[in-house]
Structure 1
């Protein structure tokens, strides 16, 4: 793959909740900044539990590393007024992109329940953000059915609601086969969705852990993939992970994709290796604190 055909890339980080995790986050940012990502995003914890940590991480990455940071924002456990105060603080910190999500329910709560004075869903949140005129708005998309989807078209219909409300692009949940993405993209195009849909990729650091995560997210695990990791064993797992990610990325690129979003889990090496294999250029002058 040549440099001219290399994809634009972006990365997701999560905010640290301990001193050790803080070092891991900053090491991850320093390792991946030289790949010149289009943007990086910083997540919220389940139930909005890391709201302040997310804001602090976003502000620090934007200020010290010069990266375009998209801050995650959810509808969970906050009034409209409280949420828009967070939005105001992001704007004052120089943030120009937001990933607007409904969010997972707080721990121990089986389903999402809107705050009495809060946004009922992500489309309402997108609409409020769009009215400010201050942000590029990204939203989530589900190429495999969301666990709460009522039928096979629910995820496409709901994505269209969010795009119509003012979202500029979508980032998908991770998936294991490129055809999953292509089928979803085709459905979206037929539904009149013309906004970019960026595939989200999860480099497989620990196969057993990823399988458990996939089950929670409702992402089907192909039997052939399970067999490959069993055959590779611990000693061959890393090389297999890179090969699989590069192969899927190349198929996505050949199918017209131009952007790839990596869920890094604050572990940069696999993502960096995959991006280098795809021909993403490295700028060694980036990655140091300004």
Structure 2
């Protein structure tokens, strides 16, 4: 598909760069992806305020594109007063969308803070700001890596959605059946909001394996073996990855997924190649 505006509910995630080269790379990716008129962009956030200012700077840079931009808001390690100030600042800046996450406890921090779970963060945002923000929460089709069971994880997911979320974005995965099973189970628990599948383009096997091991996303054995077989052949890895992810996305959309959320790693081309392959 070569149209400038994709008809689906497409969105893209960026992370705050920490170098001048990285900032220029992000601006280039932002401008290229904005041409597709996505539903929104999102910008990741470090727990405990470690990247708070950098995130806001990045959000404002991304918003220059004219596309709604949602900062990630992580509650572990944060205090209510700190988050209250941050929410007020976002409102002053004209930001009206958030991705609300529990987050991970940064190394060296002594305590969890006043929040333990994402549902508490969603409840707090609603108590403080009413309906000002559209709130997205995370879903884990293959279960959160720290969850004791898939069933418990689904219950936690339903709890944070019902606390006031408008939509959910999933962790990336490569097995469409995991997504469909997750959605079916969530609907059975009364979750009605859109559940948007998260998509990770495959461009580098070493990085993908490291990300996946850390976040609990499964790389099917046949994909791992093929990527391993390509060794340092980056062109073959990229071509194979494009084919695998394109087929995954097509199956998701054919099965009723309400859109696609791409984890871009601040690169435009891999996501756009996948989008252009979709019917």
Which of the five TM-score ranges fits, normalised by the shorter chain? over 0.9
SS at match of 1:173: strand
Q: For structure 2, which runs of at least 5 residues remain unmatched after alignment? A: none
- Residue 123 of structure 1: aligned partner: 119
Q: Does 1:103 align with 2:103?
A: yes
Deviates more, 1:247-256 or 1:145-154: 145-154
- Residue 112 of structure 2: aligned partner: 114
Give the ranges of 4+ consecutive aligned residues of structure 1 lying more than 4 Å apart after TM superposition.
1-6
CA distance in 1, matches of 2:212, 2:47: 16
- Residue 248 of structure 1: aligned partner: 248
CA distance in 1, matches of 2:136, 2:167: 5
Per-residue Cα deviation, 1:71-125 (whole angstroms, up to 9, x for no partner)? 110113321011111111111111110000011110356xx9421xx32321111
Relative contact order (C-alpha < 8 Å, sep 6+): which is higher? Answer: 1
CA distance in 2, matches of 1:225, 1:6: 29
Per-residue Cα deviation, 1:141-190 (whole angstroms, up to 9, x for no partner)? 11112121011212210111111110111100011111110111111111
Q: Which of these residues, 213, 222, 225, is aligned with residue 227 of structure 1?
A: 225
- Residue 88 of structure 2: aligned partner: 88
Q: Which of these residues, 201, 214, 217, is aligned with residue 216 of structure 1?
A: 214
Q: For structure 1, which runs of at least 5 residues remain unmatched after alignment? A: 280-290
CA distance in 2, matches of 1:113, 1:158: 22
* CA distance 1:127–1:73, shift in 2 (3 Å): same
CA distance in 1, matches of 2:141, 2:108: 27
Structure 1 length-normalised TM: 0.89
CA distance in 2, matches of 1:221, 1:278: 22
- Residue 44 of structure 1: aligned partner: 45
- Residue 159 of structure 1: aligned partner: 157
CA distance in 2, matches of 1:23, 1:163: 36
CA distance in 1, matches of 2:161, 2:139: 11
